[in-house]
Amino acid sequence: MEEVEKVKAEALQIIGVFQLLPKLVVFDLDYTLWPFYCECRSKHDTPYLFPHSRGILHALKSQNIHAAIASKSPTPDIATTYLDKLGIRSMFVAETNYSN
């Protein structure tokens, strides 16, 4: 958790430079929050995030900047399972999938 706090502090320092902040930041999943494509993996795999992802999400939340997900994953069930396994699904105010 020490690394998460370090990244969060660094992100907050960067955010602090700006007078105007967005109300919402939208993330993709594959190769944005985690370094793989969901469709190349199984629900039974153990997912992991890029090293800075969790700290950045916590920094945004602490500044009342909402986060959302917009993904084109053809396997939204795997993506949802991974968000739950990683314990970060509640950090997003909205999720959408445009795989069709």
Are 95 and 68 in contact by the 8 Å Cβ rule? The answer is: yes
- The predicted pLDDT at position 99 comes to 63
Provide the residue ranges of all domains of the chain, joining segments of one domain with +: 2-97
CA angle 78, 80, 83 (to 5 degrees): 110
> How high does pLDDT run on average in the chain?
93
Q: What is the DSSP letter of 34?
A: B
Angle between helices 2-15 and 53-62 (to 10 degrees): 50
3-class SS at 24?
A: strand
Class of domain 2-97: alpha beta
pLDDT tens for residues 61-91? Answer: 999 999 999 999 899 999 999 999 999 999 9
pTM score above 0.75? yes
